[in-house]
A and B are shown apart, each in its own frame.
Chain A
């Protein structure tokens, strides 16, 4: 084994994961997968350790292995089987994220040698609210819950399972097409891994996989050796769960042990799980940790399981960061995940102040608008997240209006939006002055104003309405977010961060997203650099 063989192997398996992603994007039907690219593909060795993952969604980083783990725990996969799941309490994250797992067999080798997995965010999985992202109170209201079961058995699609799933979603044709695309993507992974094995031999590929995992572990350990010894604590809050007004605490202690090149992350002291839908299951919490430590390495480090070997993550059961049934969890993926990152960064900044940015906007400002479009005589459902300001970095201002941390989805162009929905966008701009002051300024948030040209149900899932994105090293916090409903007569009301209301034709929804926190104490008259 040498560094060259390993470099080529790493590149080859990464290329397979990317190719799975391209196949999925190419053959999926829904815009959410094709355009917003809300999916991930990964490959695992026989011990269910990630050996390659495409450069897809950060929130899926650490949570996909738990899906494979859950499948293997639940059943014995044979050749030709493909398992499906979305249950957040058995390997999933939130119900819209459906994961497929295919075992890869090599002739002459007993049991699966590898696994290929694809995860995609499906635009609807049933439940009380179109889009399955609404303010539910229990998981039973959030959509169909699929434990690990076979959707393909012995190479044949399990029509009964498929039928059950499709009978429980609002857009069955689209779901069927997207699931077929996921199956196709898994098969791309299977075929390419088998080709790789026939090129190198099974024993050699095992050896290379081990070497790749050891290599990724070395990368992380080299990093951990540079961290200061000690325990670093932090806390931050989610505003509320949308049911009560109680703030929700997330607390963490990161302990670095540079001699042993190890770290532990402990979420003890975090609030108990809540009645609203912003609970995170452990997979989300683990993903957020994975993301944060991943960012300490260079941008091209492979997303292989060895990275997390030196790191232990514990989250007490029944809390906001390790929710148990029947807690509703749709927003855990989008809101709680961002706050977990904020808390981790805040603790990390105490250990390595020069390497950590202040808090970014910290909420995906999820907006769902549904109603009847008279132009097409058809119902419509619009869902979008709006970016905010990036936290200031030591030495650099934060970036204005850009997606940070656990998401990176694109916006919908104004012109595309007005073609597709009965809306008129009145403005889309930076929210000047919303970034926190400091030696380095936090990035500004965004303002987006949408005028409704039809009556509609408007659902918000937003945070950072009460607790500002924090500054660091003396920098000010970023401004909190704000959503207003403005009536045609000019009257207006502020909407709660998490709510669902009936709005009228002519009403204007004005979304102002939070700015990023500042970094350092503001100097006498430092000119702000234009970003």
Chain B
């Protein structure tokens, strides 16, 4: 039996299949020891044995966010010790003289150089001296570090130096992160940064995963722990402990995969995922080739080069604070009320937020927010928003303005991942999830001319759904920098040998997918295409689509070789409800005045649990469910499909 458990800020979501149907359970998260909630939830489900727990963890992310990772030693080629701090020598903010120095995860005195050098063809120009290694081990050993990262120049082309350094440092018994093992790809800063981030979170994630895995194994016969990685595939607990940098976006990746799988089942394979939470909003794009993967992500300002789903984050969510600036313009975010003090309606906040605006307009139930975990104080909200509304006449006008401003910034975020990358939003379905996604999806879809919104089942626990349904996946890569005609068989075979051995150790049978990163010779960026005789053609076509031109006469070079090993997840074939033509009246629980388009509209309120496949009705309406509510503006038409998804046709 597989059980997916995703740690969230407030709740830990547990999702599993019973009679092919998704079942959800929510328990309160236990931030001091997230594993406690995981085990609590597991006990409530009460599997007998042979349980596989698939986990979405925030331990790595939180260590990065709070900068509470390990004291890391960084070892590199002598003369390049500072490169981990210099980065790309650009400043994050153009017009701020008082910006802080960009964060470096390695303190200055913990950067160590070793005399050695490998050239770009992998030739060993200068070998490591044994005597110098002895001094290095002594120096690192005396530096009271908790983890070590090693990344030397051109290590991917010839790992000899790194291997020797690693062998020597192994004597210290600390977690070792070695660049040619974690990310054997060129561009020294991004590689080193990834390896350092790995070392930075390794002790925390390692002990967390090890302890959780031990407990799962102790409580359940043949119990096993797996972890969701940022690229949208599952890895074993052992690999997650060794390469925790792969778990930075564990939960959000689950959301993307959940949206992708459920939308595909419902018949939509071009989707824009829209996950609105308390402090930020994640958007992503999936087309016929599946979710987009990025090899150049940033996590809390630190470049991470291992494959991650291409998730774009906007700094606005339900808790974002609205204010008027010095010129009188209404701005929303990036400051957030967070959970402390939280929005006004939670009882302690003093500044109006997006959630307060939703409440003021009648869009939220006062007693069902977060599944009833919080009771919203409407009177307090109206009074305090009245004080904050500036020159505007009515609170409703202010509240509607807050929503329009925040929706404009989300529209921007979606334009970045769609229009700016050559996709037309009109070809997509907006899949809304997270607490806030369904509240804003229809308004956003209209602004972007997206014709359809899908609110899948369990929108508040979609990450856990995705984790449950994900495939097991490992990714291997190596920079080769060769001409297009180069023989790559040996490199591919080597990567596959490593991969199959790892899968075998987990009792898995994997299928290999080979691909290459190509570019026009001399270009500074590459595109990934499947390996094979058609790869040049595929590259030109993709280049045309992505960048608007292709030049078949220009020579190509192979930058990276990639192997993805995949073991498919359990098939998911939920039973389909029979269609009963209906108008949802069986689910109608009342009406309320809700503000839309400048005025109050009598709005019907539906309970999602009581809707049936085939129900069709038009807005204005609100469909409430555990942990979320879907706003259906006047004119938009909602239909319940045979899987229980809400499919909304958005008025142009």
Contact = CB atoms under 8 A, between A and B. Distances in A.
Interface of A: 2-4, 6-8, 10-12, 15, 18-19, 22-23, 26-27, 29, 31, 34-35, 55, 58, 177, 180-181, 184, 215-216, 218-219, 222-223, 291, 294-295, 297-301, 355-357, 386-387, 393, 395-397, 399-404, 408-411, 413-416, 418-420, 424, 426-430, 446, 449, 530-531
Contacts of B88: 410-411
B91 interface: yes
A184 to B, nearest CB: 7
Contacts of B523: 31, 34
Contacts of A2: 391-392, 401
A38 to B, nearest CB: 12
B94 A58 contact: yes
A408 B325 contact: no
Contacts of A219: 325-327
Contacts of B98: 357, 393, 395-396
Contact of A415 (B96, B154, B409, B411): B154
B101 interface: yes
Given A3-B390, A31-B523, A401 B119 contact: no
B80 A418 contact: no
26 contacts: A2-B392, A3-B324, A3-B390, A7-B329, A7-B401, A10-B329, A11-B412, A19-B419, A216-B327, A218-B327, A294-B95, A297-B95, A356-B97, A400-B86, A402-B90, A402-B91, A403-B89, A403-B91, A413-B189, A414-B153, A415-B186, A427-B79, A427-B80, A429-B80, A430-B85, A531-B85
Contact of B187 (A215, A387, A416): A416
Contacts of A427: 79-80
A280 to B, nearest CB: 20
Interface size band for B = 35 or more
A316 to B, nearest CB: 28
A354 to B, nearest CB: 10
Nearest to B331: A7
B329 A401 contact: no
Interface string B514-527: 00000000111100
Interface in B463-519: 481
Nearest to B553: A173
Interface string B306-350: 000000000000000000111111110000000000000000000
Interface stretch (B137-145, B541-549, B638-646): B541-549
Contacts of B328: 3, 215, 218
B242 interface: no
A6 B329 contact: yes
A419 B481 contact: yes
B91 A428 contact: no
A355 B119 CA distance: 47
Interface centre among A2, A58, A404, A415 (most CB of B within 10 A): A415
B86 A428 contact: yes
Interface string B60-102: 0000000000000000000111110110111101111111111
A355 B96 CA distance: 11
A414 B157 CA distance: 14
Contacts of B108: 530
B87 to A, nearest CB: 8
A29 B521 CA distance: 12
Interface string B137-170: 0000000000000000110000000000000000
Interface centre among B190, B325, B397, B415 (most CB of A within 10 A): B325
Contact of B186 (A180, A396, A419): A419
A411 B89 contact: yes
Contacts of A22: 416, 419-420
Contacts of A19: 415, 419-420
A413 B408 contact: no
B91 A420 contact: no
Given A427-B80, A530-B108, A415 B188 contact: yes
